[in-house]
Structure 1
C-alpha cells in the first residue's frame, strides 16, 4: 500500500473515530436504568414473589451484553434479591455512582483514542455498562466488553461495611472505572484463541500485559496491592513463580482472593506485568513491541517462553 495513502487513511479513520456521535455508538447503558427500576419495584412491593418482578423488569429485557454476563457468572434473580437483603447499605450507596457513570465517558473516549494512537490496528468493541451481582467488574465475552458497574464504580466513599473484607480492600483503592475499562479493553484486542488452555506463565502474561498496556494508555501507574507488594518482594516472588510457571495450578497466583492469606491476591498479575514491562523496555521499536504483546499467543508455550527470554527479566 502506498505510504502516503496509508497516512491519509489513518488520518481519516482517526478523524471519524473522534466524533462524539461515532464514539457513543460503542456504549450501551440501558441495563443500568432498568436495574434501578427493578430494584425500586422489588423494594416497594409487598408481593412475596419479588424474584419474578425483578426477572420481568431486568433479566428478561437484558441487553445482549448483560445476557452473556448473566450466563457467564450464573446470575439469578433469587441471588440478586438475596444480595439486596444482605447488603442494603452498599446497594443504596452505589446507586448514584452507577446512575452518573456517563460523566466518565469523555475519559473512556480518550482511552479509545490513545489506544488507536499506540496501536493503529485497534478495533473498538461494544462496551456494555451493566449491573451484576458483585461477581466481576469487567469481562470480555464474544468480543464485547462488559462492565459490572456496581464494582467498577465503587470506591472508598461507598458504604461497603456489610461486604466481605476482600471486597472492602478492593473498594478502598479503586479510583473509578478508568483503569478497569482500559485493562478489559486490552483483552478485547489480545490474541485469546485457546487462551483457556494456557499454562500459568501464559495466563499471567495475559493479565499482566493488560495491566501494562492500560498503564501506557492512561499514563498512570497501576494502583493495586499486588503491584506494590510485588515490587518490594520481586526476588522471593520470582523464585516461587519459576517452580510453577509451566504447570496449570493457578491457586497461588490467580483468582485467589477468597483463599490467599499471607499476601495480596493475584500476584500472577504482577509477574505478567513486570515481564511485559521489561519486554517493552528492552525493545527498540516500541510500537512493534506493543503489537507483539497484543498478538502473543498465550496458549503457545514456546511463544510465551520466547517472550520471557526476550524480556530479559531476572531478579538479581
Structure 2
C-alpha cells in the first residue's frame, strides 16, 4: 500500500492565536490565573496533551515570562515562516509515505509553552511544538523556515518508531537506546526533508569521529545519559548521542541492498543491541 495520499500535514496554530490574544489584552504581562483560565483551559486537545505531558501550567508560563519576556515577544515573528514551512513539510511527508507504507501522519499542534521543550512526538501522542522554544533555538539552524521543517521531519520520524512508543516506560534507558531513538529521528528526517535538525553536531564532531565514537562505545550500556543526550545549550553543542545514533542508522541503511526494507527495519527496531550488531557501524567509520 502506498500511503502518500494520506500524507498531508495538518498544522494547527489556533493555540498560538489564543495565547497572544490573552498576552496582548494583558499588555504582555498576563497573570498565571489568566494564562490558565483563558489560554490553557480553553485550548485545543493538542494543547491539553502538551500541557499534561510536559507539565505546562499557567503558573509555569507566567514564571518564565517574567524571567524572560523576550522569549514570548520574539516568538510571533516565527509565525510568518509557517506557511512555506508547511508546504515543504508536506513534500517531506509525501516522501515518507512513499518509502514507508505504514507511515502515520497525526496533526501537529503548535502552541506556546514554558520555554521548553522545543517539540515532542511519538506514536501515541502525535506532535506538539512550543513555538517560543523553537523560535529561540536559532543554534539548531539560523533559518527559521528550515528549522521548522527539519525539526518537524525529525518528530514525524519519532511517530513511526516502534521503540519510541515504549522507551518512555523504561525506568533507565541506556545511552545506546536513546541515542538510536534520536539518531534515527535525525537520519529519517534527513532522508525525507534533506537535512538533520541538529545540524551543528557534525561540525562539532569533525576530525574527532574516532575519539568521540570510541568513548560512545565504552558508554553505550550506561544509564547515565548526561554526556550524550539532552545536554545541549546555546553555547555548548552537546547531544552528540544524536550524531552517533544517526551514523549507526546511516551505516545500517548504507549496507542494505534493499533500502525500503532497511528503512522499515530502522523504524521498527526494538532491540538496540541487535540493531547495532547488524548495522556494520564501528568507531570512526567513514560515511559519505
- Is TM > 0.5 for Structure 1 vs Structure 2? yes
Kept in 1: contact 2:119–2:128 (CA 8 A): yes
Deviations 1:197-240 (A, max 9, x none): 23221111111011001001012355522222234211111111
Partner of 1:236: 211
Deviation at 1:283, TM superposition (A): 0.4
Larger radius of gyration: 1
Evaluate the alpha carbon distance shift between residue 155 and residue 226 of structure 1 in structure 2; reply closer, same or farther with a 3 A threshold.
closer
Deviations 1:130-182 (A, max 9, x none): 121211111025331111122334465xxxxxxxxxxxx44647643001000
Classify the secondary structure of the residue corresponding to 1:291: helix
Partner of 1:38: 22
Evaluate the alpha carbon distance shift between residue 62 and residue 82 of structure 1 in structure 2; reply closer, same or farther with a 3 A threshold.
same
2:244 to 271, 279, 282: 271
Q: Please list every run of 5 or more consecutive structure 2 residues that lacks an aligned counterpart in the other structure.
A: none
Kept in 1: contact 2:99–2:260 (CA 8 A): yes
For 2:125 and 2:277, the matched residues in 1 are separated by 30
1:127 to 2:108 alignment: yes
Describe how 1:86-235 pairs up with structure 2 within 5 A. 86-98=67-79, 101-140=82-121, 142-154=124-136, 169-170=139-140, 172=142, 175-191=146-162, 192-196=164-168, 197=170, 198-220=173-195, 224-235=199-210
Q: Please list every run of 5 or more consecutive structure 1 residues that lacks an aligned counterpart in the other structure.
A: 1-5, 157-168, 298-302
Evaluate the alpha carbon distance shift between residue 193 and residue 154 of structure 1 in structure 2; reply closer, same or farther with a 3 A threshold.
closer
2:257 to 281, 284, 295: 284
Classify the secondary structure of the residue corresponding to 1:265: coil
For 2:205 and 2:109, the matched residues in 1 are separated by 32
- CA RMSD in angstroms, aligned pairs only: 2.5
Deviation at 1:101, TM superposition (A): 2.3
Deviation at 1:248, TM superposition (A): 1.2
Describe how 1:66-85 pairs up with structure 2 within 5 A. 66-85=47-66
For 2:238 and 2:112, the matched residues in 1 are separated by 24
For 2:134 and 2:272, the matched residues in 1 are separated by 30
For 1:153 and 1:61, the matched residues in 2 are separated by 23
For 2:28 and 2:239, the matched residues in 1 are separated by 40
Classify the secondary structure of the residue corresponding to 1:128: strand
Deviations 1:88-119 (A, max 9, x none): 33322221323652342111211221111111
Evaluate the alpha carbon distance shift between residue 170 and residue 77 of structure 1 in structure 2; reply closer, same or farther with a 3 A threshold.
same
For 2:15 and 2:66, the matched residues in 1 are separated by 21
For 2:67 and 2:197, the matched residues in 1 are separated by 32
Give the total of aligned pairs.
278
Q: TM-score, length-normalised on structure 2?
A: 0.87
For 1:212 and 1:71, the matched residues in 2 are separated by 29
Partner of 1:17: 6
Deviations 1:178-205 (A, max 9, x none): 0100000000000024313232211111
Classify the secondary structure of the residue corresponding to 2:49: helix
